[in-house]
Chains A and B, each alone.
Chain A
Amino acid sequence: MTLEFTLSSARNALRARRISSRELTEAHLAAIEALEPALNAFITVTPEQALAQADAADAAIGRGEGGPLAGLPVAIKDLFCTKGVRTTAASRILEPFVPPYESTVTANMLRDGAVFLGKTNLDEFAMGSSTTTSAFGPAINPWQRRGANVQLVPGGSSGGSAAAVAAGMALASTGTDTGGSIRQPASFCGIVGMKPTYGRCSRWGVVAFASSLDQPGPFARSVEDTAILLGSMAGHDPKDSTSVNRPVPDYVTACRRGVKGLRIGIPREYRVDGMSAEIEDLWSRGIAWLRDAGAEIVDVSLPHTKYGLATYYIVAPAEASSNLSRYDGVRFGLRVPANDLTDLYEETRAAGFGAEVKRRVLIGTYVLSAGYYDAYYLKAQKVRALILRDFTEAFGKVDALLTPTAPSAAFGLGEKSDDPVQMYLNDVFTVPASMAGAPGISVPAGLDAEGLPLGLQVLGRHFDEETVFAVGAALEAAAGFSAKPAVRMEAGR
């Protein structure tokens, strides 16, 4: 039953009193209970709180009040600090942490009446593209290869949020995107995921990974739904110095704009060596859909695209190495007892951080260290300026870019080798937009030969989420993607 709803249709049903928030929430909690053993999409489920919120929403709706998200059950990536509710960042080092404050984004959603089902699983400290680095076990993709009983990854780092929405455990969810951590899992899980412009949503109360890249964003099963959710999430926050003071436009209306007369850029550098024929095909189909819908297709070049990954894997770990210094066992979180302060730090962090986090902290420490700063960090920030310039110049010629979201469909748990570099290549299409701070959306566009979803990515100008939504909605309409994952609540249940 839950999969039949979108945010939009559920909201209409609530307002028309065809269903209550309590019923809707109970149905979702039941889905969570049924599917969690297979999917591990949640770290913490909050049934009592959710039902209390649902009841309050029902009362508000009954009074004719109730905000844009009133009574709608959603899931929150366990990277957003939620007051009084354990927030772990999927790390042992924060396992006992209960925040005494609410992140701005989730506070906005609560202000608008949302019901929080729980905190979803992620790669530890948002570092990863598979959700396999979580200290609470990997999340599993509700999609399976046709005829194969192999567990697949939901992508990462926001894999739990994506899986929850894809399987019908939540109507929508929040994620964060640093190098692709919303867009790529959306593609792997056959749903819509959107990364707004850097600075659009507040980072206050979001456990920081890479400060100049992190951006909260919505997951949902339709483009319109992500527009609804972003409308609540977004907005200026004076507590975040990088938050931009611009009004939040009506994103939902923008979805209906169509693409007539828009110029869509096809960046030639995204056609990488060894790209699978299926993904090339999907991309061509996407181009055709947009052309048919009245857009003009333009060939563009973003020459520094291929350096995006290397730049990212210098800048992000550098910032992370500093952001994670506060996890030291002194004021919150895990502490491994020791006889002197240095031992306390070293033992706590060795026990509390997983292997990928350690790798990135060490890389980050290295590239900032004496003698290497100029060669690595400084150089990376210069290349990043060139990547941004590429986008700025391209957006002088076109209004949006169309690319594949990921170089493959979801892969099997443990299928990608233990080579970290192999894992990093998952981000090749998503990272450049992160480096430039540009907004992007992934829309499920088709299935591969094994029945797994593939997404197409639309990128736009800074603070032109409206065009991104418009193009995304056009793709969605043309694609008519209606396939459902193997693991889900059956209709009627």
Chain B
Amino acid sequence: MSAYVIQGATGPWELVIGLEVHAQVVSRAKLFSGASASYGAEPNSQVSFVDAAFPGMLPVVNRECVAQAVRTGLGLKAAINLVSRFDRKNYFYADLPAGYQISQFAHPIVGRGVIEIELEGGAIRPIGVTRLHLEQDAGKSMHDQHPALSFIDLNRAGVALMEIVSEPDMRTPEEAGAYLRKLRTIMRYLGTCDGNMEEGSMRADVNVSVRRAGEPFRTRCEIKNVNSVRFVMQAIEAEARRQVEVWEAGEAVQQETRLYDPGRGETRSMRSKEDAHDYRYFPDPDLLPLVIEQGWVDELAARLPELPDAKKARFMSQYGLPSYDAGVLVMEQATADFYEAVARGRDGKIAANWMLGDFFAGLNRMGRGIEESPISAEGLGGLLDLLADATINGRIAKEVLEAMMETGEAAAAIVEARGLRQVTDTGAIDGAVDQVLAANPDKLAEYKGGKEKLFGFFVGQVMKAMAGKGNPALVNEALKRKL
């Protein structure tokens, strides 16, 4: 169990956290209509009469959306329910044209699964997934376009969502953050959701309660629609502190829906108590039971990409990488693929070090992701080849990498053009050493007098004299001889 607690006036309190993630399914068309599911179109230009709930309109389910839900379930190591059912969730709101949402209540398409999260220090914790079901997204209502009116755009109405519900297994904000990042990574690997929280294609509702160690669960509150991992973690802390204060004041936390205000760093109540919803779930009579074949599920499973956990384990064994490094490299499939192209036929550890160090640093400086990298995997590999055959040394390689990222040119070309080849001519090295020793008599005397650490100073000076191109091993050896 984690040691994370909130210290209240009366003692320590544990957190109990559950997450409900709404993930927009990657598909061309919507869940029950043929309108486009893509983002960012002109208002009400991607609306079928079915989406707008006109009289007599009927839903027809999109096979690819079902497949995406199955793939995600497989990625969560979850039970795939071959028979599931769509139910209507009835409530009135401006962005819900039919006055009901088609969802899955009693019989979801995916059952229990698990997500393994890695925490700081390398500990692995399994977080239970209760279920995953398919449902329609609502439209968008905008309340700030006009003083007296709200504007409604139904482009998003009917887009397929996967609702993924976790068990209340998380105990710290860090775990919640790790769960969300891992879930996003898995879905991006599978291509089932792009996990873009800023654009709203992945949204989290956070359930938080607190308790004393060993107690059963107390009342929880739901914080809706938090749209970044950072805010989720902040919201959990803010809400947990609020609840601790309430309990310690001798009052009871009310079950309610809240919103997180990042500006204030606090949560506030969203709905009045009297609006408790009675959703009157019942099976949608316009739809029949959803029955899928095990053979189809097996086919989908066979074509899944290697998932992050498996890839990480393979990187560790195949390339000899430590857990942390492998973990970072597999977080995005594009990064993992890039790495493997670089590491092919080369030293895997060296490749990893260069990627995780100077290469990522360079990308960050440029504000680019790996998909927009100015150099290709082959290009980076070319640099590593020059290092491996001692054409250049490590210090020069850093310079070359920077130049490569600026100009997009190949490593070898840059080395030639700028004359950066490593100097291995012992005569030239000896000459440089002699020059340095002659120029620094007092330091030389101090060294001979016992100040051993001045050796580094001399190395630096020789390298400077050689414009960094001296072969470090030869420089060291020459210095040792002459000192």
**A–B touching in complex (CB under 8 Å):** yes
Binding site for B on A (CB under 8 A): 80-81, 87, 89, 94, 97, 99-101, 103, 203-208, 210-212, 238-242, 318-319, 322, 325-326, 328, 330-332, 341-342, 345, 365, 368-370, 373, 377
Say yes or no: B58 contacts A325, CB within 8 Å: no
Say yes or no: B99 contacts A89, CB within 8 Å: no
Q: Which residues of B contact A322 (CB under 8 A)?
A: 88, 90, 99-100, 280, 282
Say yes or no: B100 contacts A325, CB within 8 Å: yes
Question: Which residue of chain B has its CB nearest to the CB of A365?
Answer: B280
Tell me which of B16-24, B46-54, B168-176, B435-443 binds A: B46-54
B285 located at the interface, meaning its Cβ lies under 8 Å from any Cβ of chain A in the complex = yes
Q: Which residues of B contact A94 (CB under 8 A)?
A: 55
B41 located at the interface, meaning its Cβ lies under 8 Å from any Cβ of chain A in the complex = no
Interface centre among A212, A241, A341, A342 (most CB of B within 10 A): A241
Among the listed A81, A206, A369, which residue makes an inter-chain contact with B280, where contact means beta carbons less than 8 Å apart? Answer: A369
Bound Cα distance from A242 to B60, whole angstroms: 9
CB distance from A449 to the nearest CB of B (A): 42
Bound Cα distance from A258 to B288, whole angstroms: 36
Binding site for A on B (CB under 8 A): 49, 52-61, 88, 90, 92, 94, 97-100, 150, 152, 278, 280-282, 285-288
Q: Which residues of B contact A345 (CB under 8 A)?
A: 92
Bound Cα distance from A97 to B49, whole angstroms: 14
Say yes or no: B56 contacts A207, CB within 8 Å: yes
Say yes or no: A103 contacts B56, CB within 8 Å: yes
Question: Which residue of chain B has its CB nearest to the CB of A94?
Answer: B55
Additional 7 contacts, C-beta under 8 A, given A208-B55, A211-B285 = A81-B56, A100-B49, A205-B56, A207-B55, A241-B59, A332-B55, A368-B280
Q: Which residues of A contact B55 (CB under 8 A)?
A: 81, 87, 89, 94, 97, 99, 207-208, 326, 332
Say yes or no: A330 contacts B94, CB within 8 Å: yes
Say yes or no: B280 contacts A373, CB within 8 Å: yes
Q: What are 6 inter-chain pairs, A to B, with CB distance below 8 A? A: A205-B57, A208-B55, A325-B90, A331-B52, A368-B280, A369-B280
Main secondary structure of the interface of B (DSSP, over half): loop
Say yes or no: B53 contacts A203, CB within 8 Å: no
Q: Which residues of A contact B99 (CB under 8 A)?
A: 322, 325-326, 328
Question: Which residue of chain B has its CB nearest to the CB of A342?
Answer: B92
CB distance from A358 to the nearest CB of B (A): 15
CB distance from B144 to the nearest CB of A (A): 16
Say yes or no: A325 contacts B92, CB within 8 Å: yes
Question: Which residue of chain A has its CB nearest to the CB of B56?
Answer: A205
Interface centre among A101, A242, A322 (most CB of B within 10 A): A322
Interface centre among B92, B100, B150, B281 (most CB of A within 10 A): B92
Say yes or no: B56 contacts A204, CB within 8 Å: yes
Bound Cα distance from A195 to B288, whole angstroms: 21
Among the listed B58, B59, B100, B285, which residue makes an inter-chain contact with A212, where contact means beta carbons less than 8 Å apart? Answer: B285
Bound Cα distance from A335 to B450, whole angstroms: 96
Known: A322-B90, A325-B90, A330-B94. A242 touches B288 (CB 8 A): yes
CB distance from B84 to the nearest CB of A (A): 15
Q: Which residues of B contact A365 (CB under 8 A)?
A: 280
Known: A326-B53, A365-B280. A240 touches B58 (CB 8 A): yes
CB distance from A293 to the nearest CB of B (A): 39
Say yes or no: B54 contacts A203, CB within 8 Å: no
Say yes or no: A331 contacts B54, CB within 8 Å: yes
Say yes or no: A211 contacts B286, CB within 8 Å: yes
Known: A208-B55, A239-B58. A368 touches B282 (CB 8 A): yes
Among the listed B52, B94, B286, which residue makes an inter-chain contact with A341, where contact means beta carbons less than 8 Å apart? Answer: B94
CB distance from B30 to the nearest CB of A (A): 14
Say yes or no: A326 contacts B90, CB within 8 Å: no
CB distance from B29 to the nearest CB of A (A): 14
Q: Which residues of A contact B90 (CB under 8 A)?
A: 322, 325, 368
Q: Which residues of B contact A326 (CB under 8 A)?
A: 53-55, 97-99
Q: Which residues of A contact B152 (CB under 8 A)?
A: 330
Say yes or no: B278 contacts A370, CB within 8 Å: yes
Question: Which residue of chain A has its CB nearest to the CB of B91?
Answer: A325
Bound Cα distance from A342 to B60, whole angstroms: 30
Bound Cα distance from A81 to B56, whole angstroms: 7
Bound Cα distance from A240 to B97, whole angstroms: 19
Say yes or no: B58 contacts A203, CB within 8 Å: yes
Question: Which residue of chain B has its CB nearest to the CB of A205?
Answer: B56
Q: Which residues of A contact B280 (CB under 8 A)?
A: 322, 365, 368-370, 373
